[in-house]
Structure formats: C-alpha cells, structure tokens
C-alpha cells in the first residue's frame, strides 16, 4: 500500500510523483517543497495534479486581502485537454472571490515566488473545494486575475 492509495493505483499517480525531484509527501494530504525547488519541478507537479484531477490549496501571504493579511487559494484542475489550467477561488475570514480560470504558468509563478520568499513550504491536497456558490468569471476578469497574481509574484530569481 502506498501513501497516495486513495487517489489511483500506485502504478500511476504515486510512481509519477516520486519521479519529481524537490518534493516530499509529508502524508497523504500534504506535499512539501524543497527550499531549492525549481520552476521546472513546480510545472511537473502541476501537470501531474492536472492529469490526475487532484485539487490543492495554499495560503498566499502576499496577495492583498480585504480583511487579514494574505489570502487562501483553492485550485481545481479544469477539464481542458489542450492546456493546463485550473479553476481557482480565494478568500479569507468572511470574504471569498469568484471562480477564475488560471493558467499553469500563473500558478507556477505564484508557488515558486512564495517558496523563494519563504512564505510557502507545503500545499494541501485534501478536502479542497471551490466556493461553488460563485459564478465563473468571464474571460476579461480571468485575464485580469492572472495578471494580478503574476504581477505580485514575478521574481528576479
């Protein structure tokens, strides 16, 4: 029995997960990043999560919030077969945003920068759900949200 048995047989997700350098499963619910993780490693992980339809969440200490500092993000893979994209909701202490479609590159940039600035060590892959009471945003709003996240997380690293 493998650590991720509740997802798929060991022959698929778990074997592919262990081939990615710079990641460690803390348990079946949390993935830990090596502090020296590369953008390529993050892109490999996002591709694997997308292929296996595994949602994930994390806290972004740099994203502006209307209440407390930072924002919680939940990402769910889309059913898009031609591009790796994720549906995302965000919120913190009493407020939540809509459902946005976010590109793989935007999510990777966000995660990489948070790790680089020592704001992120792990992502959760358990009990992640979108705030489904919100409507899906339109193309212009999705583009604006992608630009905002990338603008906050573009590094010189």
Q: How confident is the model at residue 145 (pLDDT cuts 50, 70, 90)?
A: very high
What is the structure's pLDDT at 11?
47
Looking at residue 29, its pLDDT comes to 84
| Tokens, residue 24 | 């460690």
What pTM value is reported for the model?
0.85
pLDDT tens track for 17-62? 777 887 776 666 889 999 899 999 999 999 999 998 889 999 999 9
pLDDT of the residue at 1:
41
Query: What is the per-residue pLDDT for 117?
Result: 95
The tens digit of pLDDT for each residue in 87-130 reads: 999 988 777 788 999 999 999 999 999 999 999 999 998 777 66
Closest to 16 in 3D by CA, of 4, 6, 27: 4
Please state the three-class secondary structure of the chain as a single string.
CCCCCCCCCCCCHHHHHHCCCCEEEEECCEEEECCCCCHHHHHHHHHHHHHCCCCEEEEECCCCCCCCCCEEEEEEECCCCCCCEEEEEEEECCEECCEEEEEHHHHHHHHHHHHHCCCCCEEECCCCCCCCCCCECCHHHHHHHHHHHHHHHCCCC
pLDDT in tens, 51-64: 988 899 999 999 98
Q: For residue 156, name the pLDDT band (cuts at 50, 70, 90).
A: low
CA distance 152 to 112: 12
């Amino acid at each position: 029995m493998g650590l991720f048995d509740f997802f798929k047989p060991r022959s698929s997700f778990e074997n592919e997960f262990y081939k990615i350098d710079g990641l460690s499963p803390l348990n079946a619910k949390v993935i830990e990043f090596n502090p020296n993780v590369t953008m390529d490693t993050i892109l490999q992980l996002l591709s694997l999560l997308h292929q296996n339809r595994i949602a994930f969440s994390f806290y972004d200490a740099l994203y502006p919030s209307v209440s407390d500092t930072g924002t919680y993000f939940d990402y769910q893979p889309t059913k898009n077969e031609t591009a790796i994209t994720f549906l995302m909701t965000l919120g913190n202490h009493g407020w939540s945003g809509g459902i946005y479609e976010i590109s793989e590159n935007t999510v990777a940039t966000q995660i990489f920068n948070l790790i680089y600035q020592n704001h992120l060590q792990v992502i959760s892959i358990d009990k992640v759900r979108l705030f489904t009471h919100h409507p899906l945003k339109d193309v212009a709003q999705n583009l604006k949200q992608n630009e905002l996240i990338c603008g906050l997380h573009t590094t010189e690293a």
